[in-house]
Amino acid sequence: MESLLLYSSVCGCGPDMIPLPQDISEEEITSIILDTTALAFMLNKPLITRLVPIPGKTSEDKTEFDYHFFYNTKLMGKKGLTAKKLLKNNESFGFMLE
């Protein structure tokens, strides 16, 4: 995911249609969106993130789309970092932890 965010710094859209395992937590999704938001803010760019949890799939499984606009790929692995863990000591972002 970090590599995709780095590529976003030189493009205009951000990480788009990223397949994720079904068991990814809401906090992990929030963390990815916050990373993209921070990058967009720092670079003054309109970056978006579209994340797609795939039902019945886990990390390292491949997608099985039968649609010519989608490329089948390996799902992103979960990192285990959440915004709550990363921001717990920073009072500036306390409103996000409630």
Extract the runs of DSSP E, i.e. beta strands, from the chain: 18-21, 51-54
Q: How would you write the pLDDT of the chain (98 residues) with one tens digit per residue? A: 667 777 777 777 777 888 889 888 888 888 888 888 888 888 888 888 888 889 999 888 899 989 888 888 888 766 654 555 555 555 554 444 44
pLDDT at 41: 86
pLDDT at 87: 53
Helix (H) / strand (E) element for 80: namely: none
pLDDT at 97: 45
CA distance 45 to 81: 25
pLDDT at 95: 46
pLDDT at 89: 54
pLDDT at 92: 53
Contact 64, 72 (CB under 8 A): yes
pTM of this prediction? 0.68
Q: Is 80 exposed, middle or buried (0-12, 13-18, 19+ CB in 10 A)?
A: exposed
CA distance 75 to 54: 8
